[in-house]
Amino acid sequence: MKKLLSILLAVMMVASCAVAFASCNGGSKALFEKDPEGNVVIKIGGIGPLTGDYASYGNSVKNGAQIAVDQLNESNALEGISFELLFEDSEGDGTKAVTAFGKLQDSGMNVSLGGVLSGETKNIVATAAESGILVLTPSASAKDAINKDNAFRVCFNDPQQGLYAAEVIKEKNLATKIALFYDNGNDYCKGNADTFKQKAGELGLEIVTEQTYTESTNTDFSTQITAIKENGAELVFMPIYYSDAAKFLRQAAGTLENTVFFGVDGLDGLIGECGTEHAADCEDVILLTPYFADSVDPVVKTFVEAYEEKFGATPDQFAADGYDAVLAIAKAIEQNGFTAEALEEITAEDFNKKMVGAMTQITVTGATGVMTWTADGETDKDPSVLQIKGGQYVEYKKEQ
């Protein structure tokens, strides 16, 4: 009798492990939970710096993603399915990001937003490859940050931005003599600079000087400013983050007069960093970005209004990237034809595989434009050329 009972118990355990919701790691846990209304909940896990030097980026991504989650849930965009955002602080540290990824897995994460920064995202992607979970980073732009088949990004990669920048400078005849100024110890900055140099050479643009710095020397730029002036640069290409750019522009004021300052999406946030006291220093700066808050596009307007109402601030590009990442995840679910009933039967392996496969089949209209994705994880969309005028981003026009 005892032997028969043991056999029956063993059969029951095997059967329970075959159910899609169950796990045999010491307990039973559903692949998807349900909310109080009975909707199947898709848990989206994000990781990024919520504290520390890059906290502005992490909090923007988190807040932008939350707006998309709120709108999807309020509109009941996918019947019987709701979304929940889980977000962990990496403090900008790659090792802590991997720990955070494990914590999110334990919390039932179904889809990952990867990391906000490139370095942490590369670590996360390497870890996520083991499970095959879809990773869609909003803002990690280093080329090798998404080097696995299950990883994609919303933002442009660094080489793309450098290439576009050179093309815009040539097309709009902004300058022929160009100075490069960037952080040589930062992958984002260096990746942009390297691609820009290559494309500028092809287009006949002359790099008259290349001035660099590192994180440990980013307080005094007087030597670089003098070199830029002495070499007769008409334009300074600055593929750097807004915090360093604000310091550089303050120090260059009065010395690099009649010089064009041109950057990429890392400059988003420059207006706030310069503030009222130093607003004149960032006036007329040009940057490439796929998003600006004053756009009349209805998707952008809806996003901006909701963000301002909830957080009392105007969303930057990182917020828009977070918003669009969640919209893309919802679109991938829709593309697969998932219903609440279907999700109750699916295995984690099949869900991950189908979500990854859908990414190359969807088109998403978001705050950063109309996006599609290629098999290498890269997005295809058009950038906007903006200029700072009167403390606001406006579309660049030559007559300005």
User: What are the φ and ψ backbone dihedral angles of 59, each rounded to 5 degrees?
Assistant: -70, -35
76/114 same-domain check = yes
Q: Quote the CA–CA distance of 126 and 138 in Å, as a whole number.
A: 17
Whether the predicted pLDDT of 278 surpasses 70: yes
Q: Tens of pLDDT along 242-267?
A: 999 999 999 999 999 999 999 998 89
Measuring CA to CA, which residue among 34, 157, 127, 21 is closest to residue 84?
A: 34
Specify the 3-state DSSP secondary structure of 86: strand
46/114 same-domain check = yes
152/300 same-domain check = yes
Name the token pair of 337: 């034809």
Whether the predicted pLDDT of 21 surpasses 60: no
Q: Is residue 19 part of a domain?
A: no
CATH code of 222's domain: 3.40.50.2300
Q: What is the domain extent for residue 208?
A: 159-289
Q: Is residue 246 part of a domain?
A: yes
Buried b (16+ CB within 10 A) or exposed e, 33-59: beeeeebbbbbbbbbbbbeeebbbbbb
Instruction: Work out how many domains the chain is built from and give that number.
Output: 2
145/40 same-domain check = yes
Name the token pair of 220: 């005094």
Prediction pTM value: 0.79
Whether the predicted pLDDT of 108 surpasses 50: yes
Measuring CA to CA, which residue among 192, 190, 261 is closest to residue 225?
A: 261
Q: How confident is the model at residue 29 (pLDDT cuts 50, 70, 90)?
A: low
Please give the mean pLDDT across all residues of the chain: 91
Give the rounded distance of the alpha carbon of 257 from its chain centre. Answer: 34
| Angle (CA) 84 87 88, round 5° | 155
Specify the 3-state DSSP secondary structure of 357: helix
168/282 same-domain check = yes
180/255 same-domain check = yes
Which range among 184-188, 216-220, 279-283 shows the weakest confidence by mean pLDDT?
184-188
Q: How confident is the model at residue 290 (pLDDT cuts 50, 70, 90)?
A: confident
